[in-house]
Amino acid sequence: MSIAILKASVISKIAAGEVVERPASVVKELLENSVDAGARSVGIEILGSGLGQIKVSDDGSGIPTSEVELAFARHATSKLDSEADLESILTLGFRGEALASIAAISRVELVTRSSSEETGVSLQLVDGVVKGRKSVGVPPGTVIQVDNLFYNVPPRLKFLKSESTERSLIKRIVSKYAMAYPHIRFRYISGNRKGFRTYGNDNLLDVIASVYGTGVAENMIDIREVEQDGVAVSGLVSSPDLSRSNRQEIIFFVNGRLISDAQLNFAVIRAYHTMLMTGRYPIAIISLVVPPSTIDVNVHPTKSEVRFVDKNIVFRAVEKAVRRTLLDGVSKSGVIKSTVVGETFSQRSSWSESDSSNKNYEYPVTEDTLINSRLSGMEMPVLRVIGQTNATFILAEGPDGVYMIDQHAAHERILYEEYVDAAKMDKVRSQMLLQGFTLQLSAEDSEILSKNLDKLTSLGFDIDNFGNDSFIVRAVPAMVDLSDMEQFLMSIVKFRGDDIHGVPQWSEDEIIKRVCRLVAVRAGKVLSYDEQVALLRNLEGCKSPGTCPHGRPTMIHFSLGSIRNQFGRSR
């Protein structure tokens, strides 16, 4: 086959494949046009999965009559004029590709009227070609209806999900833009079912209530707008009592643009350090405002990613803003009074990595059903031990009911805080082994251990590399039981932290948590009454007695009122 220039129709369909992946892509592009047009009210209606019909209407500035056809030409835009404009893009759209791409793979009807004109115009296009035009009397604004999406590119249909999945993706896009622009009224309708409606009163919490429900809205904490190094951070984050099983509800907007950024997601997750259980994630709607010259928005076909001049500055600003919000907000609300009384030890200690953006942690979260029964990190009341049950839980009486304490989680918390305090003061106690213990490792394990010997030394270990993937252990932290040394050491060596986007696999914090988990008293261990009392007294002295270092609750509270209700007693 000889080299030839492609036909315009083929070029259009190739370009459309980059911009329009699925019905939700069409909704996103049309919503962005409405926002850029200064709309105060936007309506979105879909039929089925959106393949049949998508209609987006707004009361924005509209398109002048003389420019209607031009709006569907490729690379035609009113949002920039020169190369210099690319350095300071403030609009969501700028390439002039969206309408042309959508029109190339569907049937489109546009009804628009510019606010500066008396009459509007209706335009019909098929395969990107104008098939009809007429003047109409309509209010200022724009209505775009997209029918039969992908009808002329059937192969694209094979890559779509089920109707319900595509519909949920559209709703997710609409809800995200509603949260990004709370001053705009959004109305979403799917078929004959009402999706949701926002009020356009510039109150993000009201939008959260419309999208997620009042139960979620009541557990959100406002990030008071703060600015650090030119990065302004605002939005809402969930209290530690509210969580999800995935990261999908961590949402970022940069200068009003919806973006996906795994590293910024990690900054939020890290801010919840020890507040959430492993495998659980917060809800966060965070808006960042940065100088346009410090970001490049022209790095992704769908404009869903941006490139920062200095990513570390943004990362630190997000983490710091969220962390402060959690520490201030939850303590004022009375939900958590002392989950963390200050920055975590590894953020402020001299022996941890100096750059906080390069530390790695585990991040946990509470089950939604435990909102009212967990202590999270509240100040622990003085408890009277009743006894032990199932050789796992300690029952105790408190000022307002009964408490059930997980002996393993409680002991983990005690050991963790003792270990942390000792490490900060460089006073970790070690115990010398009467005879050095030899470890023979795989090449991979040997390399990892070699890179982390200094960290292990600072935490009470004495381990030397003998070469040929062989190591000799001469000392371990004093808290370690020497009876099963091989299993303990291999558990430490085999440990793998999450390697998330350049964050180191091991940190002092992870090692400490791992040691404490291995050393803490196990479920199934029968404790004497005196041991139970001692455990609770030590737990009372902890800064964060409500959770283990991994965020799991150490105790559950059964209030006297709830107990009375269960027995049908009024008093």
Let me know whether 341 and 376 are in one domain.
Answer: no
The answer to whether residue 43 is domain-embedded is yes
Alpha-carbon dihedral angle through residues 537, 540, 542, 548, given to the nearest 10 degrees: 90
Q: Taking phi first (over 0 means left), then psi (-120 to 50 degrees means alpha), and beta for anything else, what does residue 202 get?
A: left
Where does a domain end: 358, 384, 405? Answer: 358
CA-closest candidate to residue 110, choices 125, 129, 131, 94: 125
Any alpha helices (H) in 377-503, and if so which ranges? 407-424, 443-451, 453-458, 485-493
Assigned token pair, 68:
């209607």
Task: Please give the model's pTM, rounded to 2 decimal places.
Answer: 0.64
pLDDT in tens, 97-120: 789 889 989 999 999 999 899 999
In this structure, are 97 and 153 located in the same domain? Answer: yes
Distance in angstroms (rounded) separating the CA atoms of residues 263 and 257? 17
Cα gap 506→259, rounded to integer Å: 29
Residue 387's domain is classified under what CATH number? 3.30.1540.20
Tokens representing 346 are 């590894």
Strands 141-147 and 384-389: unpaired
Instruction: Give the percent of the chain with pLDDT over 90.
Output: 44
Q: Which among 272, 550, 277, 271 is positioned nearest to 410, based on CA atoms? A: 550
305, 327, 358 - which closes a domain: 358
Check whether residue 345 and residue 406 sit in a common domain.
no
Which residue segment(s) compose the domain that 381 sits in?
Answer: 372-558
Q: Are residues 200 and 223 in the same domain?
A: no
Query: What is the rounded CA–CA span in Å between residue 122 and residue 399?
Result: 72
pLDDT, averaged in runs of 10, over the chain (571 residues): 73 66 92 93 94 95 93 77 64 76 92 94 93 95 95 87 90 94 95 85 93 89 87 93 88 92 91 80 94 80 79 92 81 37 28 34 31 45 91 91 93 93 90 87 82 89 88 91 78 61 61 89 92 93 86 86 82 66
SS3 assignment, position 417: helix
- Closest Cα to residue 81, out of 71, 69, 96, 92? 96
